[in-house]
């Protein structure tokens, strides 16, 4: 099995810590090491050799990937010339992996993200191994990884599973019945109580030929451009052609492009202790370790509850009488918002762009 760590995003929802020049995946967000290093270590038990691992990243960060993951072969770093969302990124990574196989086999690919966290990492790895076995017997299917969550979250998408099709290594594989995009209110409550509804993680396992054929069917332009890039793999003109053809692709999520249109979706659901790190309130929950407040730097609080406060070196933050607040001070930028509104930080970043405050992005 080939494993891809997708790390092409800019992490705008974690502004002002995450910036264009150094997105969140290269930062020690949850501990002493970067998300990238933590993710590589999490997946190492699945690798027979380093050549089985690929990392997809924006071109300017290729040197940083080399530094953080020195054992990764240079050819296994997929340098995206621009941001085109997960659809084109996955078409590109699949075309490159298929080209590297040189027609010797039809590789199974686990397409994962750098910023997902699994408290039950061993259970998650077992599900990926089981998905590989499932695809050996059901090669025309794609596997969507889904996870239970502790509480209903309107910022997530959900997937409902039907009857069990097969079981490998204790992992059940069920036909997908429907996708539910970011529900709210009573619908969210009902879904959370439904034992067959799980959070959609955005992680997939598939055969290279299957996902490419789905692109050919549903997004023929993306398919054709990825095939053109593939023709130049290993040749001197590859970088130039990659930029030419990849920038011509539309910006599409993998769900828009393929997943929600495909008929053969198998759900591999479980309690993986899954969370992403896409919003500040999620970061707070991940690193709180039962503490009421999460603080970094010099922080003094009075009557403050359930808050995350970051203060930069050389400054002290005094917080009085607040509850559920996010305060992140980086010295040149300050974010203050209620914890439940931390998903709106992306909108704030868009506003900064409108005001042409690019030096703070």
Spell out the domains of the chain, with CATH numbers in brackets: 2-278 (3.90.550.10), 281-360 (no CATH)
Task: Look at residue 85 in the predicted model and tell me its pLDDT.
Answer: 95
Per-residue model confidence as pLDDT tens digits over 266-280: 999 999 999 988 899
Pairing of strands 108-113, 197-207: antiparallel
Q: Judge whether 24 and 11 are in contact, CB under 8 Å.
A: yes
User: How far apart, in whole angstroms, are the C-alpha atoms of residue 40 and residue 94?
Assistant: 19
> pLDDT tens digits for the chain (361 residues)?
999 999 988 889 999 999 999 999 999 999 899 999 999 999 999 999 999 999 999 999 999 999 999 999 999 999 999 999 999 999 999 999 999 998 778 999 999 999 999 999 999 999 999 999 999 999 999 999 999 998 888 889 999 999 999 999 899 999 999 999 989 999 999 999 999 999 999 999 999 999 999 999 999 999 999 999 999 999 999 999 999 999 999 999 999 999 999 999 999 999 999 998 889 999 999 998 778 999 999 999 999 999 999 999 999 999 999 999 999 999 999 999 999 999 899 999 999 999 999 999 9
User: How far apart, in whole angstroms, are the C-alpha atoms of residue 24 and residue 337?
Assistant: 19
Q: What is the DSSP letter of 175?
A: E
Task: Look at residue 151 in the predicted model and tell me its pLDDT.
Answer: 87
Task: Look at residue 155 in the predicted model and tell me its pLDDT.
Answer: 85
Task: Look at residue 197 in the predicted model and tell me its pLDDT.
Answer: 96
Task: Look at residue 11 in the predicted model and tell me its pLDDT.
Answer: 84
User: How far apart, in whole angstroms, are the C-alpha atoms of residue 158 and residue 40?
Assistant: 26
Q: What are phi and psi of 235, to 5 degrees?
A: -110, 160
Residues in the chain: 361
3-state class (DSSP) for residue 11: coil
Of 29, 22, 10, nearest in space to 349 by CA: 10
Structure-block tokens of residue 151: 């509480």
Which DSSP string corresponds to 190-229? Answer: HHHH-TTEEEEEEEEEEEHHHHHHHHHHH-HHHHHHHHHH
Pairing of strands 334-338, 325-329: antiparallel
C-alpha neighbours within 13 Å on the C-beta side of residue 293: 23
3-state class (DSSP) for residue 265: strand
């Amino acid at each position: 099995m080939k494993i891809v760590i997708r790390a092409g995003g800019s992490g705008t929802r974690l502004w002002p810590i995450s910036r264009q020049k150094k997105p969140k995946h290269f930062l020690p967000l949850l501990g002493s090491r970067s998300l990238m290093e933590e993710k590589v270590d999490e997946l190492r038990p699945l690798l027979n050799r380093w050549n089985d691992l690929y990392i997809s990243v924006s071109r300017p960060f290729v040197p940083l990937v080399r530094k953080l993951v020195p054992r990764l072969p240079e050819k296994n770093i997929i340098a995206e010339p621009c941001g085109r969302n997960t659809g084109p990124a996955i078409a590109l990574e699949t075309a490159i992996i298929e080209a590297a196989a040189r027609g010797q086999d039809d590789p199974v690919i686990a397409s994962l993200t750098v910023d997902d966290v699994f408290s039950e990492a061993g259970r998650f790895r077992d599900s990926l191994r089981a998905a590989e076995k499932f695809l050996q017997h059901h090669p025309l299917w794609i596997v969507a990884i889904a996870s239970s969550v502790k509480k209903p979250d309107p910022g997530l998408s959900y997937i409902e599973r039907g009857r069990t099709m097969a079981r490998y290594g204790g992992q059940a594989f069920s036909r997908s019945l429907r996708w539910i995009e970011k529900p709210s209110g009573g619908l969210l409550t009902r879904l959370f109580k439904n034992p067959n509804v799980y959070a959609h993680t955005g992680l997939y396992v598939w055969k290279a030929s299957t996902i490419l054929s789905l692109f050919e069917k549903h997004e023929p332009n993306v398919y054709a451009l990825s095939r053109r890039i593939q023709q130049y793999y290993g040749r001197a003109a590859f970088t130039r052609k990659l930029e030419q053809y990849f920038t011509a692709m539309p910006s599409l999520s993998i769900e828009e492009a393929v997943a929600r249109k495909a008929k053969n979706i198998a759900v591999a659901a479980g309690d993986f202790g899954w969370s992403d790190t896409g919003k500040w309130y999620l970061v707070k929950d991940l690193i709180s370790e039962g503490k009421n407040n999460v603080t970094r730097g010099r922080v003094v609080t009075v009557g403050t509850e359930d808050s995350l406060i970051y203060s930069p070196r050389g400054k002290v933050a005094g917080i009085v009488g607040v509850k559920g607040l996010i305060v992140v001070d980086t010295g040149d930028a300050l974010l203050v918002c209620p914890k439940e509104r931390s998903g709106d930080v992306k909108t704030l970043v868009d506003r900064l762009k409108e005001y042409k405050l690019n030096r703070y992005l």
